[in-house]
Structures are given as structure tokens and as C-alpha cells.
Amino acid sequence: MINVLLLCGGDGAEHSVSLVSADFLEEKLNDIPDFKVLRAEIHNHGFHLKNCCGYFDADGSFRYGEEVFQVDCVVPCIHGVPGETGDIQSFLDMYNIPFIGCGSEASRNCFNKITTKLYLNALGIPNSPFVMLALNNDYYRKQAFEFFDKYRDVYVKAASQGSSVGCYHVANREELADKITQAFSYSNEVILEKNVIHRELECAAYETDEGLVITEPGEIIIPENAFYTYEEKYSKDSGTTTTVEPSDLKKSIIEEIRSMARRAFVGLKLRDLSRIDFFLSKEDGILINEINTFPGETPISMFPKLLEHHGDNMTDFLSQAVRRAVKRKTQQI
């Protein structure tokens, strides 16, 4: 029997989305006969179960009430803080507890939009023009206004957030300073990006026992003149639709997207699973927008849809990922 601890929630802005993803993963994990699954929610800097709190003991076991759960592997289903920031991964490494997903450094690099772009540039992978703001002061605001004056249509983004939290579309110069200040309330750094008129495409990139899989891209179809905000992503009233079979995509474009996704996965040292998002623009070509190291697993999320459409099975994928994580620890001993 393999004891799997499913961690979910977190203390970031994506707490509620993480819980929905965890519902999906818990169902799939419970379908694996030799898995015993325990779920704990991270909230207010603690581990919460239905009727009590839990904690990790010095030997790596998880204790709650009078119970002791000998953890063989953790599934960190936590979008945003602390799951995609590298924090929970560092914590688990400290206790020598196996987990699925990217390691702490890869998670941290991909969660920060600035670091991601610096890596992509070093790898020669195209992404949208940007300028970073380390501080909200006169020096960096001057750079921001110069960037805006060049492109006249930009996005202001909190550098370390997900699900479009702290992200603002600015086409009016008078709004720029205020949106920068708002973005800084969500992150210590802010990034400005050129608004690229585009189609939004996404690949699932994941590992099986046979190796790395890059799916053909699916497409996020956003209503005209709408911005893919947190509300647009997750609201029941959202007008956004998705498809795993985009229309009018040339084979050469599909293969270039898959090649770029593979280069990003390998170059940024990702592991097990990720979703890599692209812009397809007539003016700017194919650009990587961002990389999600623990993609959404909600009923509307693209990662499980793309994995299944590729011909793989989500339950089998999770089973293999957990067993590989356990094996990695065994090989270290």
C-alpha cells in the first residue's frame, strides 16, 4: 500500500481554485487500488483536516489527532502560494518526503514571470516584449511610461501571481501609475508586457514511464474585447470556451509550438507535469506566454482535457508519477 498525502488550498489568492482541483485529483487517486489517500488543506499557515489539525513529525510522518500517517508521497495540489512558488517543495525536501511535480527551483523560476522570461530569452525561445519594475519608484515608473509610449497598449502584471490575479490591461496612459501600484499590492515585482493581439493556445507537457509527452495545443476562445481575468476563467457566467482541436492551425505551427514547449520543459528543468501557454499572433508569431508548474485540474481546466485527448488516462498518469517519486527516494538511500 502506498500512502499518498494530498495537500491543497494554500494561503494565496487561488485557494478556492486549488480545492476544486483537489476534488478532481482525490477522485482519481482513490481509483488506484493500492493507494491510501489522506487529504489536508493548507490554511492560515497550518494543515487542516475535517475535525483537527495535522503536522509533520521529524521522521516525515504526518500526525493528526491520535493518528499517524506514514507518508510515501505528497501530491501538492496548491495553485499559487505556497505550491507553485517552490516553498512547499523546499519544505518537503527538508523532510526527505517524495512529491510529484516540479522541484523547488523550477517552481520558483516559473512562478515569477520575470525569471521565466529571462530563462526563455537565454534559451532562445520567443516571448512577448516586456520591462520589469523592481520597485514602485520614480526610476522604474519612468521606464514603465517609456515602455507604454512605445507600445501604447500593455498589460501590467504582478510578477508572482497566477490565474490573472493582479493583472491589468492598460490602453490609457493616465491609468498606468495607478495600475502599477495595484499590481505591486500583489507582488514585490511588477512586469509590463506588450499587448499582443493573439489566439491563446495551451499544451500539456507531462512525463510518463515512456518519457516526455507534449500534446498538440488546445485553444482558449475568449469573447471579443474581453480579458481573461480570474473571474472570466472561473465564473459560471464566463463567456470563454475551450477546445482541444483548434481550427485552422497549420501542421507546421502545431509542430513549432510543440518544439518550443519541449525546449522550455527541458531547459527550465520541469518534472512530471506542466501546462505551457502560447500566443499565436499575425504580427509577432508564436510566443510563450507563461508556464504553469501545477496546472489547474478543475472541470474546465485544459491540462486533463489535453492529456485525455492525447490518448492517456489521468488516473494512470497519477499512478505512474507517484510511483516514480517513491522510486526516486529509494534510489537515494
DSSP 5-69: EEEEE-SSTTHHHHHHHHHHHHHHHHTSTTEEEEEEEEETTEEE-SSSEEEE-TTS-EEETTEEE
- Provide the pLDDT for residue 296: 95
152 within 8 A of 171, measured Cβ to Cβ: yes
Radius of gyration of the chain (CA): 20
Secondary structure (3-state) at 156: strand
Q: Which of 194, 215, 241 is a domain's end point?
A: 194
CATH number at residue 49: 3.40.50.20
Shared-domain flag, residues 113 and 222: yes
- Provide the pLDDT for residue 162: 74
pTM: 0.92
Shared-domain flag, residues 308 and 268: yes
The set of cell numbers assigned to 55 is 503536522
Shared-domain flag, residues 306 and 204: yes
Shared-domain flag, residues 218 and 237: yes
Shared-domain flag, residues 143 and 208: no
Asked if residue 129 has a cis previous peptide bond (ω within 30° of 0), the answer is: no
Shared-domain flag, residues 209 and 288: yes
Domain interval for residue 212:
109-126+198-316
What is the rounded CA–CA span in Å between residue 238 and residue 44? 30
Shared-domain flag, residues 136 and 167: yes
CATH number at residue 177: 3.30.1490.20
Shared-domain flag, residues 208 and 175: no
Number of independent structural domains in the chain:
3
Burial class (CB in 10 A: 0-12, 13-18, 19+), 299: exposed
Shared-domain flag, residues 179 and 46: no
What is the rounded CA–CA span in Å between residue 59 and residue 96? 9
Shared-domain flag, residues 275 and 179: no
- Provide the pLDDT for residue 181: 97
- Provide the pLDDT for residue 330: 74
Q: Which of 164, 194, 224 is a domain's end point?
A: 194
Shared-domain flag, residues 50 and 149: no
For the stretch 88-119, pLDDT in tens is 999 999 999 999 999 999 999 999 999 999 99
Q: Which residues contact 276 (CB under 8 A, 6 or more apart)?
A: 202, 203, 205, 260, 261, 264, 265, 288, 291, 292
The number of helices, as runs of H, and strands, as runs of E, in the chain is 10, 17
* Residue recorded with cell 487517486: 29
The neighbour count for residue 239, using CB atoms within 10 Å, is: 11
For the stretch 161-184, pLDDT in tens is 876 889 999 999 999 999 999 999
What is the rounded CA–CA span in Å between residue 114 and residue 260? 18
- Provide the pLDDT for residue 238: 60
What is the rounded CA–CA span in Å between residue 274 and residue 115? 17
C-alpha distances (whole Å) from 180 to each of 127, 162, 201, 230, 251 are 21, 17, 27, 18, 40
- Provide the pLDDT for residue 197: 87
What is the rounded CA–CA span in Å between residue 192 and residue 35? 45
Q: Which of 194, 222, 243 is a domain's end point?
A: 194
Shared-domain flag, residues 116 and 254: yes
- Provide the pLDDT for residue 232: 46
- Provide the pLDDT for residue 43: 93
- Provide the pLDDT for residue 332: 66
CATH number at residue 294: 3.30.470.20
Q: Which residues contact 25 (CB under 8 A, 6 or more apart)?
A: 6, 75, 77, 297, 318
DSSP, residue by residue, 208-270: ETTEEEEPPPEEEEPPTT----HHHHH-TT---EEESS-SS--HHHHHHHHHHHHHHHHHTT-
Q: Which residues in the chain land under pLDDT 50?
A: 228-232, 234
What is the rounded CA–CA span in Å between residue 34 and residue 214? 28
